[in-house]
Structure 1
Amino acid sequence: MAEKGEDPYTDADFERLLELEKEDAAKGNWTEAKRSPDANVWRKKDPNHDIHLLKGYLKCPGVPAADAVELVTNYELRQKWEKRFYVVKVLEEFPTYKTVYWAVKFPPPCSNRDVVQHIKIKVDGDATMILYKHTTHPAMPEQPGIVRSETIFSGTIIRPDPNDANSSTISILFQVDLKGWIPAFVINILAASTPLEWRGELVKYHRDVYSKQKSQNQTPE
């Protein structure tokens, strides 16, 4: 485990993100899980976990890459458009990464979930890569009534759409164990819809709120 303030990421972590993103479906044993006109989601079994690794390729028409990066990495804004997070709190900021706490609403009878992550952003050419790594923090110990989830692997890559400078593409890879009593097969089924829902929320907020207020030099609400 890295010492406090020591960067928990290496170049190999970002290389793995890029390799998984471009991995051929057949060679990598990926199977299609969901499809829509603007999104494809694939799943891959992990021999070390019951939770599948998911990969989403998302198109965001009308959302420039710079705006997409802001919406994903500005945690005050993130909570406004991704409303299932009822708490998003930056616990510590270091020169190369941040430690962030997330609390997620779940419908009854499920308990709410939370997670603490180290988050690092790396820009490589026109790609903005974001990695999320599971951690703990003394300011946010586990709380009664909230189940602490585990981030096995999670990363996002945002790029300009090569065919439209006013649009972007987002690749998402994630493998998150929600813990608690929810069976792994249920988590795998539900998780496959997450990238499509996430993309829809981002595009809608950008269209209905962010772009309008940005053009008027207002702070998005």
Structure 2
Amino acid sequence: MRRRRTGWRSCFWATAETSPAGKAARKRYKGEGIVNGSPQKVWECLKPDPNGLRVKWDNNVKKFELLEQVSSDVTVCRTVTPSAAMGIISPRDFVDVILVKQYEDGTVTSNATHVNHPSCPPQPGYVRGFNHPCGCFCVPVPGEANKTKLISFFQTDLGGLLPRSVVDSFFPSSMTEFYSNLTKVVKSLK
């Protein structure tokens, strides 16, 4: 397994790992940093909710659609992304089963993976992407009521016929922008 640091911004960092030899060549990305705000505030900005804040600040999320409420903490959602990298990457859509868990210590996690859903076949105008197991953890910082350690990880197959170099250059900068924009929106909440 090969690791490399892919970006720095503020107190956030991201790493990329390639799969071990003999397995599909996909990268896993992990971001980690401290956000000034309680886990509840940070989660309010991150949660996969069709009427939530994320579609307003995350440049990589154009729309969330709730396809099915399986239980109180499990949903099936469609996420739509805009085109990216100056139009080189066409709009994508992703259909995922999402598990949200809240723990006694204040930690909130969101975990997702691709699923086929009968009410959402591939849509014209979008390339169907696939999220392998991914998620984020909003963890309280001990002794700091207004700070959250955010750990995010993803391994996404964007689908389509994109050159590996385009994908490799897109994810690190996108992740850095994600943390930067999240920090701004959490700060703006009262």
What is residue 16 of structure 1 aligned with on the other side? none
Are 1:86 and 2:86 matched, yes or no?
Answer: no
Identify the match of residue 102 of structure 1 among 76, 79, 92. Answer: 79
Alignment partner for residue 10 of structure 2, among 37, 49, 58? 37
Partner of 2:47: 73
Residue 151 (structure 2) pairs with residue 171 (structure 1): yes
Gap change, CA 1:74 and 1:101, over 3 Å in 2? closer
Question: Quick one: percent identity of the two aligned structures?
Answer: 23
The one-letter amino acid paired with 2:144 is D
Moved over 4 A (4+): none
For residues 72 and 36 of structure 1, the distance between their equivalents in structure 2, rounded to whole angstroms, comes to 19
Bigger Rg, structure 1 or 2: 1
**1:183 counterpart = 2:183:** no
Residue in structure 1 matched with residue 185 of structure 2 by the alignment: 205
CA deviation string 1:80-111 (max 9, x = no partner): 22143222111111224000111100142432
Q: Tell me, what secondary structure is at the counterpart of 1:188?
A: helix
Aligned to 1:58: 33
Give the match for residue 15 of structure 1.
none
Once residues 83 and 31 of structure 1 are traced to their aligned partners in structure 2, the CA distance between those partners, rounded to angstroms, is 25
- 8 Å CA contact 1:87, 1:103 repeated in 2: yes
| Pairwise CA RMSD | 1.8
Unaligned runs of 5+ in 2: none
Per-residue deviation at 1:29?
4.4
Question: In the aligned structure 2, how far is the partner of 1:186 from the partner of 1:83?
Answer: 18
| 115-124 vs 105-114, which moves further | 105-114
Contact 1:59–1:168 (8 Å) recurs in 2:
yes
d(CA) in 1 for partners of 2:108, 2:3: 24
Q: Deviations over 1:191-218 (max 9, x none)?
A: 122222111111212223x32xxxxxxx
CA distance in 1, matches of 2:115, 2:6: 29
Normalised to the residue count of structure 1, the TM-score between the two structures is 0.75
More helix by share: 1
Instruction: Count how many residue pairs are aligned between Structure 1 and Structure 2.
Output: 182
Residues 45/109 of structure 1: CA separation in 2 closer, same or farther (3 Å cut): closer
Answer whether contact 2:2 2:19 (CA < 8 A) is retained: no
What TM-score, normalized to structure 2? 0.87
Cα deviation for residue 74 of structure 1 reads 5.0
